Amino acid sequence: MHIDYCRIEGGNFGDDLNLTLWQQLFPDIDQLNPDVIVAGIGTILSRKPSSNIKKVILGAGANGPNIKLNVNNSDIRWVRGPKSARAVGGAARLGLGDPAWLYADLFEKAEPVSKGAIGLIPHWKTWQSFDWQRVANNAGLIGIDASLHPAQVVHKMRSCSHILTESLHGAVFADAMGIPWAPAILAHRFHKFKWEDWTESIHRKFVPFMPDRALVHSVGKIKSLTNWMIREAQFGLAIRAPGLRAVKAASSFDEEQVTAQLFEYCSKASNFFCSDPVFVKAQREKMLDVCAKFAKDYGLRFSH
């Protein structure tokens, strides 16, 4: 496999898109020199490749402003957003956007669902930590599991009028499909840097929904104490949400409160919007042009 991506046990539709997208665009990508690897979808520009591996970056994102990148063995074609561009020492224009916009299924013609329910897409770890399907149902939302195959996620999203998402690629997909969306922070692990990186690429201010408490099934005594100290110190505030570190298991009252907050937020259509489709098309065409140049330079076929 010539693709560098984050492999999540159980699946994560954004990362797993790497398995099909690049093979579709470059049918003979397996013929690449064994010493060349493509870094595509994901926050993966934190790993330092071995000295004998050349990394071609096609839209990957940095995990923070200070990353280790072997510039002498990297071929940077574009990155996820302006913040990633600055992290790799490039001009802001290098941050074209997330390569998931190259996924053709997002651009299939479909009837808009103006009166459908709102979809809720928690981060895959958040989904595992509590019964978010029940929370979504009680709030009148459609819960969407981020561990599903990308095609299944697209299918479920197409039945929604709006999308509230903690998963970055829930927003990326919705923006491409023209479904109004809003970001959400539902747990402490939320990665603010990657979100602001991408939203800066679409010229959108990052204003997320965030409940006033965390929902988890359980938390150990030591973990509870550690989380309490982190919350008090506001540690990691620049990229995380320390206030949502759980110090106790959620009660039925906690669940009711978060459900009510979700319902109230989602009742206001003004919280949701998406990019101009003309802009989305233009950025996607730029990415395709870069891909065509990459294929030519590395002797690959290019199909789109």
* CA of residue 96 relative to chain centroid, distance: 15
pLDDT of residue 79: 96
CA 211 to chain centre: 20
Report the chain's mean pLDDT, rounded to a whole number. Answer: 91
43-52, 135-144, 156-165: lowest mean pLDDT where? 43-52
CA–centroid distance for 273 within its chain: 17
Residue 271 vs residue 7, higher pLDDT:
271
**pLDDT at residue 47, rounded to an integer:** 57
Strand partners, 256: none
Question: Which residues, in sequence order, are bridge partners of residue 36?
Answer: 54
Q: Are 45 and 69 in contact (CB under 8 A)?
A: yes
The two structure tokens encoding residue 179? 């479904």
Residue with tokens 């991408």: 198
B/e letters for 107-122, b = 16+ CB within 10 Å, e = fewer, are beeeeeeeeebbbbbb
**What pLDDT does 172 receive?**
97
| pLDDT value, residue 230 | 81
Residue 13: what pLDDT?
A: 94
Q: Cα–Cα distance between 162 and 181 in angstroms, integer? A: 6
Residues 6+ apart with CB under 8 A from 197: 61, 62, 80, 81, 82, 83, 84, 95
Q: Tens digits of per-residue pLDDT, 30-75?
A: 999 888 999 999 998 875 655 678 899 999 999 888 887 776 788 9
Least confident of 9-23, 49-63, 235-249, 282-296: 235-249
Q: Crossing angle, helix 168-177 and helix 150-157, to 10 degrees?
A: 60
pLDDT attached to residue 95: 96
Q: What is the DSSP string of 69-83?
A: --GGGEEEEE-SSHH
Give dist(CA 279, CA 283) in Å, integer: 6
Compute the average pLDDT of residues 178-187. Answer: 96
124, 168 contact by CB (below 8 A): no
pLDDT digits (tens, 9 = 90+) for 239-280: 777 778 888 999 999 999 999 999 999 999 999 999 999 999
pLDDT of residue 1: 59
288-294: Cβ within 8 A, 24+ apart: 288/102, 290/58, 290/77, 290/78, 290/96, 291/25, 291/26, 291/58, 291/102, 293/77, 294/56, 294/58, 294/77
- Which ranges of the chain would DSSP assign to H, the alpha helix? 13-16, 18-25, 82-87, 124-129, 132-138, 150-157, 168-177, 192-201, 221-233, 252-266, 277-297
**Picking from 140-144, 221-225, 259-263, which range would have the lowest pLDDT averaged per residue?**
221-225
Q: What is the mean pLDDT of residues 210-231?
A: 89
Q: Which helix (H) or strand (E) holds 54?
A: strand 54-58
Rounded to whole angstroms, how far apart are CA atoms 188 and 219?
Answer: 13
State the pTM of this model.
0.93
Identify the DSSP state of 43. Answer: B
Instruction: Look at residue 38 in the predicted model and tell me its pLDDT.
Output: 93
Stated as kind and residue range, the H or E segment containing 55 is strand 54-58
**What's the pLDDT band for 181 if we cut at 50, 70, 90?**
very high
